[in-house]
Structure 1
Amino acid sequence: MKGIILTLLALNLAFGGWLYWRSQQPDADATQVVLAELNNLGLDEATRVQLAQSGRQRDNPNQAAAQCILIRGIGSADDASVIQARLTALEVPSTVSVRSEVVRTDHWVVLGPFESTARARERLAQLQADGVESFLINQGRLEGGISLGLFSSNSNAENRRAALAEAGIDARIEDFPRTREVRDLNIAAEAARLLSDGALESILDRFEGVDFQRYGC
């Protein structure tokens, strides 16, 4: 009788150990579902497998839990939609925001605006008679002024202004930022902890100028 009890106890321990081992194994069905969703997103096979395997792992297990992810600098609405679709396939929701980003600043050497168009044309005629390259500005915040040169470099604009000053022409430099519309995606902390840096890099590496960062939130 004692031998039977010991045998049953050993069998129970072995069965319990097997159940624990089984619970630690990856869910193959879940991985197949993710792969199936990624198949529709135009990704190559290696990228789909990497995303399916690593999308729910964190690169740093000691990373603070309350960290969000900001994906920055998406140039078009179409690109933002593609990235969001790939995140959604990994069950990672995101929100989009639109902002203006300065891509360059032009430096305009100008006179005026003048009190009237007639006065501006009179001054323009004097400048052109003296051989100074110039034209009338007919739109924008400097409408009614005179352009004496547009430069992408502030130093070149300053050289132009200084040369005009030596000729007795009191010009000034106006800066004009040139912007483009960009989109950012924000991933909340609860979803961000499910997404590894490697998975994000695989999603974003085809989009020029797009990057991401984790931040406390």
Structure 2
Amino acid sequence: MRWTFILLVLANIGLLAWFMSSGDPAPVRVAPAAQDERAASITLLSEADPASLVDADEAPASPEVSEPPPPSNETASATGGLCTLVGPFELAYQGEDVAQRLQALQLEASLEEIEMQGQMRYWVFLAPLNSSQEAFRKLRELQAAGIDSYVIPKGSLENGISFGIFSEIERAESLKKDLNRRGFAAEFREEPQTYLERWVVLGVSDGGRLEDAVAEGFWDQLQRDYPDVERRQNLCSEIRRGSEE
């Protein structure tokens, strides 16, 4: 019994000495778990926008926006394009001379009579009647009333009665009102006045730009030879030639 007690005391003393010599164990550092930025806030599925539930990594990339290609010469031709006109020429031989100079530069050029827009006019008339016989009966009635008039022989107002064409709209309106008061259903419409001028019309050059085909010195010399001529551009589709009438 005594030896058992002595062995226990010695064992306890040995354990105490071992613990005192080993010291405190070094503390273990625990790194905080990385926090996902997307987990910073919690949103219930019932409260979330369905569009926001798609993962950003799975979202389709935005397509690159590319500039539209510049219009080609075929596109310009399809829309009519611009024609260059040089003129006007009072005498035909002057226009022919300029056309030949441009043709020498391998350009399509020709002297043509072009219909030009003049001053607006106003035509006072009675609407066309069913036949020329009715038109002349109405004419006699108007002339008996002292109203100057004549039967329109052709055109869109054929078999109508004309009371005159005026350059001022006020005069046309005044005559129309006077005829209406006298019991005649007169009306008036705008009639654009046109006239013909000689112009050299140029086609489109191979490069599509007239400035690239004709040097500026050519135009300077042309201006010295023909001081009154000018150069202008117009839509080819809107050029009305005298031969088209």
When the two structures are superposed, what TM-score results if normalisation uses the length of structure 2? 0.48
Partners of 1:129 and 1:92 in 2: CA distance: 66
The CA distance in 1 between the partners of 2:121 and 2:84, in whole Å, is: 33
Do the aligned partners of residues 84 and 72 (structure 1) sit closer, same or farther apart at CA in structure 2, a change above 3 Å counting? same
Change (3 A) 1:93 1:156: farther
- Identify the residue that residue 189 of structure 1 maps to in structure 2: 211
The number of aligned residues is: 143
Distance in structure 2 (CA, Å) of the matches to 1:155 and 1:115 = 30
RMSD over equivalenced CA pairs, Å: 3.1
Pairs within 5 Å for 1:205-216: 205=227, 207=228, 210-213=229-232
Partner residue of 1:112 out of 127, 134, 143: 127
1:179 alignment partner in structure 2: 195
1:197–1:214 CA distance, 2 compared to 1 (3 A): farther
Residues in 2 aligned to 1:200 and 1:92: alpha-carbon distance in whole angstroms: 14
Report what 1:96 is aligned to. Answer: 110
Counterpart amino acid of 1:168?
A: G
In structure 2, relative to structure 1, the CA distance for the partners of 1:180 and 1:113 (3 Å cut) is: same
* 1:143 to 1:77, Cα distance in 2 relative to 1, 3 A: same
Higher helix share: 1
Structure 2: distance between partners of 1:93 and 1:69: 15
8 Å contact from structure 2 (residues 121, 191) kept in 1: yes
Separation in 2, partners of 1:213, 1:105: 22
Structure 1 segment 161-176 matched on structure 2, within 5 A: 161-176=176-191
Q: TM-score under structure 1 normalisation?
A: 0.53
Q: Does 1:198 align with 2:198?
A: no
CA-to-aligned-CA distance 1:119-175 (integer Å, 9 cap, x gap): 212222221221111122223332211111222333322222122223232211133
Partner of 1:59: none
* Deviation readout 1:47-96 (Å, 9 max, x if unpaired): xxxxxxxxxxxxxxxxxxxxx964243455433112234557xx645423
How much identity, in percent, do the aligned residues show? 26
Question: Contact 1:87–1:93 (CA<8 Å) still a contact in 2?
Answer: yes
List runs of 5+ in structure 1 lacking aligned partners: 1-67
